[in-house]
A and B are shown apart, each in its own frame.
Chain A
Amino acid sequence: MPALPLDEAGRYVAGAYVVFMLLILVYVGIMAAKLQRIERDLRELASFAEQGNGHKKAAPGREDEDGEDRAQSEPVAPGRGSEDQSISVSSGPSESRGGDG
């Protein structure tokens, strides 16, 4: 088949690349939704842990192994602040407890 004129061809090429981009974005969106759920569950879990174990601890917001208290004692803001906390939360246990996976 003879090559398509440039304006028609351009649409197909653009279509292919757009499909590619869209798939990536859809995937990222799904990952984001998963992360949201994880964050929400962690928050619930943290409050549950505090209720259940709060009376055992001397003071809240202390340096703690799992850092859950740390995240909870700051006013929870959906910004970089809480994100930094959650990054250190996830890396905390594996540093402080050597035997972790």
Chain B
Amino acid sequence: MYAKGLRNESTSPSPKGRNQTVMPFASGLRTLSIVTVAAFAVSLSLVFFYAPLDADQGFVQKIFYVHVPLAIVALLGFVVGGVFAIAHLRSGDSRWDAYSYVSIHMSVIFGVAVLITGSIWAKASWGHWWVWDEPTLVSFLIVFLMYATYYPFRYAIEDRERQARYASVFAITAGAFVPLNFMAVRLAESLVHPRVFATANGGLPGEMMLTFLASLAACGLLWGTLVKLELTAKSASGQLKRLRRALDAPVPGAASRVAPEVR
């Protein structure tokens, strides 16, 4: 374990040459941000100037173009976090753990946005701020609660390597949990309730579908940009710690929690 830690920190080329291929995280971040902004400009214009009004719900349906893409991106983000976790367990490289951590972090934040926008949509459509009748929203709440426990769980384990390994196991277990959860909640749905998502996704006319896909792309790009941003910040902190160690500098008072380090 100690040897593994040393290997990650050494500056001499490792046998795999891993260290030599690492780009600074910020490379490409500027381009990605610009592309994201452009994507949002396009998708928001489509939402408000191009997509036709829904016959059922009227103008309120426009929330669909922010709520659903965010939800899909968040769920995909959880899956991606699980995939990174598998890579981490198989390779032992702590970089995958950092990717997994940030992916889940970003998806949880997107999850907050999903739940709030979903609640607003529920109030506008059905008059209540929360409805248990919409299985997708309920499933999402449960998934969100599951992943929210990632943080207290992670920070309760003090040994860094163990923390990373257990977090990866958590991410994989939770990843397996997501489809099961959606299925179970959907089966529990007994009321024949006008399924907004079914009608919306099933019978989407061409213009709405185009707008939806544009919004989906924009949200996906946003997720990627913010993940890259966070990884860059983590990397910078990591480099700072390295520098501090190398210079034998004093560490400032507040000890941070044992968080995944990016080196």
Contacts and interface: CB of A to CB of B under 8 A. Distances in A.
Contact of B24 (A48, A53, A91): A91
Interface stretch (A37-45, A55-63, A69-77): A37-45
Contacts of B195: none
B63 A12 contact: yes
Interface size class of B (residues with CB under 8 A): 35 or more
Given A4-B59, A12-B120, A100-B11, A20 B113 contact: yes
B contact patch SS: helix
B181 interface: no
A51 B50 CA distance: 62
A42 B22 CA distance: 22
A52 interface: yes
A contact patch SS: helix
B159 to A, nearest CB: 22
B12 to A, nearest CB: 6
Residue from B12, B13, B230, B233 having most chain A Cβ neighbours under 10 A: B233
B59 A20 contact: no
B19 A6 contact: no
16 contacts: A1-B127, A3-B58, A6-B59, A9-B58, A9-B59, A13-B124, A34-B237, A35-B233, A41-B252, A45-B247, A87-B26, A90-B26, A90-B239, A94-B24, A99-B10, A100-B22
